Amino acid sequence: MAQTTSFIISGGGIGGLAAALVLAQDGHAVSVLEQADAFSEIGAGIQLGPNTFRMFDYMGLTEAVNRVAFFPPGLGMNDVRTGEKIVRVKLGDLARATYGFPYGVIYRADLHQLLLQACQTRPGITLRTLAKVESFEQSADGVRVQLAGGESVQGSALIGADGLWSKIREVIVGDGKPRVSGQVAYRAVLRREQVPAHLWNDDVTLWGGEKTHLVHYPLRRGELFNLVAVFHSDKYDEGWNTFGDSAELTERFAQACPQVRELLDKIDTWKMWLLGDREPVKNWTDRRVTLLGDAAHPMLQYLAQGAGQAIEDAVVLREALRFTRGDVPRAFQKYQQARYLRTGRVQLTARFYGDIYHAAGVQRELRNQLFQSGTESAGFAGLKWMYDGIEPSKLFQ
């Protein structure tokens, strides 16, 4: 019988809650420390590939996710200036037939909420707010975490799921501030009745152009319409929930085709966030402390895999603990070894796709030719390595 362990998780976002849930399912005691005054999630919609739906199935969350997700019939890309259709890839039955699982989109807050509810009803999970981790120290058999208010928390292990600006990473990796991409994202959500019929589209649609793109898709079974506009800018705030400058947004998309400009004009208020990532690293573990999600491998949003890779992390971590029968230092090394190349590939490929979406000149022509060629390297099929996902039962044999 594997030894049960007490885990401290710093960060109550999607990755932290996913880790808490799967560890508690195996009988481990888990304390989730969230520095904010409530467990909540900011942001708008996120895309979920078949690899993520495979994880939901493993975690027993498929039914809950399906109740709030939207399943678009296709993925499309158009030229932001000319309106030219560059490529459209069918989803729906094709995704299920190819990977065994669908491609969906979900309101980030809805995904966070269903994970939170699953944790609230699972014995063994303690959820704490206003619990900011200031420091930690290790011993041979445990970790002591110091909170901002002076309290200390003891556990067998610490998981840093505290995001792009991770305090735990500062100690474990020590690679300074995140890499700033020079790009910002403006996000907004409209109600269905606010979107004119001729602009509504059930697909995930991306309008790509020189240093700009707009992506939109429905949320909540088609009740909402999610928009994210990305452009290069030297104006940014190191945050995730500040108000955007509508004048700059209008200026950046001034040469966009009428459909794009009409959509953007429907938004009165935008929230913005800075896009950043880090260089992939091979080691994010120190004995009884490890990292998960954006704390371990932050990535640009161009492959829509941030949440999915964090959830995969949680599953792999659970399987590593099972394989090592609760030997935490060994399990953390196994987990890291199983993850760093896959997540590193996603990090680097996301950067490449950002260049593709924002292409100009010859690069733009090559992109269009590639995507319209129907070859294996174009569109949905070119990411098969990613969407195939992981098979938990075969990770450690």
**What residue ranges do the domains of the chain occupy?**
6-177+278-390, 184-277
CATH topology of domain 6-177+278-390: FAD/NAD(P)-binding domain (3.50.50)
Tell which wins on pLDDT, 234 or 299: 299
Structure tokens at 291: 């990292």
Amino acid sitting at position 221: R
As a whole number, mean pLDDT of residues 46-56 equals: 96
CATH number for the domain whose boundaries are 184-277: 3.30.9.30
Report helix, strand or coil for 365.
Answer: helix
- Give the residue-averaged pLDDT of 197-214: 94
Is a pLDDT exceeding 90 seen at residue 364?
no
* pLDDT confidence bin for 175, thresholds 50/70/90: very high
pLDDT of residue 375: 53
At position 368, the amino acid (one-letter code) is N
Query: Tokens 């950067």 correspond to what residue?
Result: 351
pLDDT of residue 365: 85
Decide if 217 is catalytic: yes
Instruction: Tell me the C-alpha distance between 112 and 165, whole Å.
Output: 20
Q: If you average pLDDT over every residue of the chain, what do you get? A: 91
Between CA 101 and CA 79 the distance in angstroms is 29
pLDDT in tens, 385-396: 999 999 998 999
- Give the CA radius of gyration of the chain: 21
Most confidently modeled range among 36-50, 79-93, 145-159: 145-159
Q: What is the pLDDT of residue 197?
A: 94
Asked if the model's pLDDT at residue 242 lies above 90, the reply is no
Give the model confidence (pLDDT) of 320-334 as tens digits: 999 999 999 999 999
CA-nearest of 304, 289, 322, 299 to 392 is 322
pLDDT of residue 376: 40
Q: For residue 378, is pLDDT > 70?
A: no
Which pLDDT band, with edges at 50, 70 and 90, does 370 fall under?
Answer: confident
pLDDT in the model for residue 359: 85
Catalytic residue among 107, 186, 217, 357: 217
Provide the CA 300 distance to its chain's centre, in angstroms: 9
Strand partners, 31: 8, 126
Q: How far apart are CA 221 and CA 38, in angstroms?
A: 27
Higher-confidence residue of 2 and 266: namely: 266
pLDDT, tens digit, for every residue of 53-66? Answer: 999 999 999 999 99
Q: Which residues of 277-316 are buried (b: 16+ CB within 10 A; e: fewer)?
A: bbebbeebbbbbbbbbbbbbbbbbbbbbbbbbbbbbbbbb
